Chains A and B, each alone.
Chain A
Amino acid sequence: MTINVKLKIWRQKNAQTKGKFETYVMENINIHLSFLELLDELNEKLIKNDEIPISFSHDCREGICGTCGLFINGRAHGHLRGVTTCQLHMQMFKDGETIVIEPWRARAFPVIKDLVVDRSALDKIIQAGGYMSANVGGAADADAIFITKGIADNAFAAAKCIGCGACVATCKNASAMLFTAAKVSHLAILPQGQCERMRRVRKMVDEMDRNSFGNCTNTYACEMDCPKNISIAHIARMNREYLRSVLT
């Protein structure tokens, strides 16, 4: 089965120039194509016509790397819950639909070209404290410290964050709280993360504040658009951790 769609895509030559929307009509699209494959087909068409193809970030195309990220029809990664852009398929769209595709919009994420944004602000937050300085050994060493299934599941639920930036993109304040909270929470729950727990949360939150992200106003839009369904419970944990580090 095939459908026809109209794509309104943000085109921007580089960070210095002003961008604008360009409209492309795609006919007889196989509904089993992924959203990125649709863009691949469009790019092939553009190359054949001697036009400049659309730049967009992508890597694994199986929802685990966090590289792809497009704002599709007013939602981060599209309207489907719990999927990345590469996991979104054309069967989710109607025949004749106009699809508006924009890059992540945030002061902290400047547009590099077309739909590609610079997300290094998220890397800076990780560099500030999202690691363990001490050598905690290999995977086998982790098994030497007993933890309950609940703790393991909880830490894993936070560790699932792939750092795609959808939380920042969808938040009305362009806040990176869900991302930072997932990283803080993941290590704060596990025994290996305990010795740097206080220092970590302070450093990571302070780095987040330095990178022009907005503040969280508890609208919980991030939780709705997170492709890994990371809960706002982790933001609450980060709030607790930070409060504890300020008071002690």
Chain B
Amino acid sequence: MKVIRFIISHSLTKKYIMALTGLFLITFLVVHLIGNLLLVIDTTGAKFNEYSSELKSSLFIQITEFILIFGFLFHVTDAAILYIKNKSARPVKYHVLKQGENIKLSSNFMYITGILILLFLFLHLYQFLFLGRILKSEILMHELVINAFKNPIYLFIYLIWLIFLFLHLKHAFQSAFQSLGLYHKKYTNIIKNIGSIYSFIVPAGFAFISIYLYLN
């Protein structure tokens, strides 16, 4: 409790938590994307089903998932606390504010993209985690995924969601390093470039898989 109170009451500790949980989620997305690539590699779905049943039974994965859920909750709760504090720091708004001139679009809308990502995530978790894992239905994961992405409405929402994910990641990647104090005149540009590539490739990879499944 003492540690949590310390984290909540200090501005920089909240930044560290945001960055660390964010980097954890960034790593998770890569693992998730690699797993999903099995859907394209083996169109029969056998490998993907094998992979998904392995996920269900592995203790290591279960522990990691537990950390992932906590990491995610920390990330969202921390964002909510920061949002309230930041909004209250300027009670009287400017009449004219040209934020577009000095702020990049992605960094200005982190809260909005975050909320939109969170909203669709509920549907995503219901569709795959709840129906496929918790209910322990007879339908195999591959079939569940195919059924979902064959629905053009679901696919459309999913693709829009990925655009928001792209915008969120675009700012998040370098920002996490900055929050942890990792700034260097030589390496920051490299981190920024990796961030730009990552934020495009990961959502594009998910988009490619979903469109591929829809067309085949």
CB contacts (< 8 Å) of A206 on chain B: these are 10
Alpha-carbon distance between A105 and B88 when the two chains are bound, in angstroms: 12
Indicate which residue in B11, B82, B102, B104 contacts A75 across the interface (CB closer than 8 Å). Answer: B102
Instruction: Count residues on chain A whose CB falls below 8 Å from chain B CBs.
Output: 47
Inter-subunit contact B12/A239 (CB<8 Å): yes
Q: Is the interface of B mostly helix, strand, loop or mixed?
A: helix
Q: Which of chain A's residues 66-105 have a Cβ closer than 8 Å to chain B?
A: 71, 73-75, 79, 100, 102, 105
Inter-subunit contact A74/B97 (CB<8 Å): yes
Q: Using an 8 Å CB-CB cutoff, how does the interface string of A50-79 with B read, 1 for contact, 0 for none? A: 000000000000000000000101110001
Question: Is A151 in contact with chain B by the CB < 8 A criterion?
Answer: no
Given the interface pairs A215-B11, A233-B183, the reply to whether A243 lies near B16 with Cβ below 8 Å is yes
Min CB gap B122→A, angstroms: 24
Min CB gap B125→A, angstroms: 26
Question: Is A32 in contact with chain B by the CB < 8 A criterion?
Answer: no
Min CB gap B147→A, angstroms: 39
Inter-subunit contact B94/A224 (CB<8 Å): no
Indicate which residue in B9, B92, B171, B175 contacts A105 across the interface (CB closer than 8 Å). Answer: B92
Inter-subunit contact B91/A219 (CB<8 Å): no
Count of A-B residue pairs with CB < 8 Å: 132
Q: Which of chain B's residues 95-121 have a Cβ closer than 8 Å to chain A?
A: 95-99, 101-104, 107-108, 110
CB contacts (< 8 Å) of A225 on chain B: these are 102
Inter-subunit contact B90/A239 (CB<8 Å): no
Inter-subunit contact A218/B171 (CB<8 Å): yes
Alpha-carbon distance between A144 and B53 when the two chains are bound, in angstroms: 69
Q: Nearest A residue to B182 by beta-carbon distance? A: A236
CB contacts (< 8 Å) of A136 on chain B: these are none
Given the interface pairs A74-B96, A102-B96, the reply to whether A246 lies near B89 with Cβ below 8 Å is no
Q: Using an 8 Å CB-CB cutoff, how does the interface string of B181-214 with A read, 1 for contact, 0 for none? A: 1110100100000000000000000000000000
Q: Nearest B residue to A72 by beta-carbon distance? A: B96
Question: Is B93 in contact with chain A by the CB < 8 A criterion?
Answer: yes
- CB<8 Å pairs between A and B, sample of 11: A74-B98, A105-B90, A106-B90, A107-B91, A172-B86, A172-B90, A172-B108, A236-B182, A238-B181, A239-B181, A243-B181
**Chain A interface residues toward B at CB < 8 A:** 8, 10, 21, 71, 73-75, 79, 100, 102, 105-108, 170, 172-175, 205-206, 208-209, 212-221, 224-225, 232-233, 235-243, 246
Q: What 4 A-B pairs are tightest by C-beta distance, nearest first? A: A240-B181, A236-B183, A214-B89, A74-B98
